[in-house]
Chain A
Amino acid sequence: MEPSKKPSPASDPTVYAEGCTAASDHLDAVHATLARFWGGLSTPPDEQWRLRFEVAVSEIAANIVEHARPPVMFFRLTSIAGCVVAEFRDAGQGWNGPPEPANVLDELDELAALERLAERGRGLTLARRSVDEVEYERVGTSNHWRLMKRL
């Protein structure tokens, strides 16, 4: 499903874009919505800032699809005073992963043995290192993710 963009009601924050994806096209929709969102900002953040935010959003989206496996995922990007927020909602399985990701630097201390270098499990680490807040909450039968990065 194509991501949708709605006019921002007066009571809503200054700029927002939202999307609804099916599992088969979720990543395309997320990237397309991010591009439209930046285009709607009068003064987009610089490239490095945007790249970090996009990394975090992409990792959480991928995490949802891989672990929660919902048929549909809703997401919303909001620019509020001083920060940008990404929110995800899905009705998939609850998140059962570790509360804190493995420390990548600790892992690299053991790099003498390349075969021990993990090929998975860096998604949340990347997200947490790219934005200021990553929050997850299970609400009833829904998963809620919220990412915030200060401008």
Chain B
Amino acid sequence: MQIDLQQAHERVTVLAPKGRLDMSSAPAFRERVKQLVESGSAQLVVDLGEVTFVDSSGLGAVIGGLKVARQAGGDLRIARPNQQVLLVLDLTSLNRVLRPYGTLEEALASF
């Protein structure tokens, strides 16, 4: 899975995965988040604008990223989820811990 990185401003890093975030790509996503947090970037926004589909493994990887970021004193927000992502967040009630932001700007401003 391709995961673009962008330093939004000095404190927040934006990860922009592309394609499906599923059991095939979740390990790479999980590892990328872990590397970022270990290198000192614990304020993260996951821009889901180019993610077409998320399954339970993908959700698990995002939850894992949230845990790692918070354990390091940071946080993880998600932005621009499509209808399918909103659906699985709703079905699992994970929208209660991973509040989706409609735009990248809103997610960045939330820090």
- A contact residues vs B (CB 8 Å cutoff): 27, 31, 47-48, 51-52, 54-55, 58-59, 62, 65-66, 104-105, 108, 111, 114-115, 117-123, 125-126, 129-130
> Shortest distance in angstroms between B19's beta carbon and chain A's nearest beta carbon?
10
How far is A62 from B54 in the complex, measured between Cα atoms in Å? 12
With A58-B55, A130-B91 already in contact, the answer to whether A108 and B96 are too (CB < 8 A) is: yes
- B contact residues vs A (CB 8 Å cutoff): 20, 22-24, 53, 55-57, 59-61, 63-64, 66-67, 70-71, 83-84, 87-88, 91-93, 96-97
Partner of B87, one of A52, A115, A121: A52
Partner of B22, one of A51, A62, A105, A114: A62
List, in ascending order, chain A residues with CB within 8 A of B59's CB: 122
List, in ascending order, chain B residues with CB within 8 A of A114's CB: 66-67, 70, 97
Partner of B63, one of A48, A117, A125, A130: A117
With A62-B22, A62-B23, A65-B23 already in contact, the answer to whether A119 and B60 are too (CB < 8 A) is: yes
List, in ascending order, chain B residues with CB within 8 A of A55's CB: 55, 84, 87-88, 91
> Are the CB atoms of A105 and B63 closer together than 8 Å?
no
> Are the CB atoms of B83 and A31 closer together than 8 Å?
no
List, in ascending order, chain A residues with CB within 8 A of B57's CB: 62, 120, 123
With A31-B20, A51-B84, A51-B87 already in contact, the answer to whether A123 and B55 are too (CB < 8 A) is: yes
With A59-B56, A129-B91 already in contact, the answer to whether A117 and B83 are too (CB < 8 A) is: no
Closest A residue to B85 by CB, please name it.
A51
List, in ascending order, chain B residues with CB within 8 A of A118's CB: 60, 63
List, in ascending order, chain A residues with CB within 8 A of B56's CB: 59, 62, 120-123, 125-126
How far is A104 from B96 in the complex, measured between Cα atoms in Å? 12
> Shortest distance in angstroms between A53's beta carbon and chain B's nearest beta carbon?
11
> Shortest distance in angstroms between A74's beta carbon and chain B's nearest beta carbon?
19
How far is A59 from B59 in the complex, measured between Cα atoms in Å? 12
With A55-B55, A122-B92 already in contact, the answer to whether A27 and B87 are too (CB < 8 A) is: no
> Shortest distance in angstroms between A44's beta carbon and chain B's nearest beta carbon?
15
Partner of A125, one of B61, B67, B92, B97: B92
> Are the CB atoms of B20 and A117 closer together than 8 Å?
no
> Are the CB atoms of B63 and A119 closer together than 8 Å?
yes
How far is A129 from B91 in the complex, measured between Cα atoms in Å? 7
List, in ascending order, chain B residues with CB within 8 A of A122's CB: 56, 59-60, 92
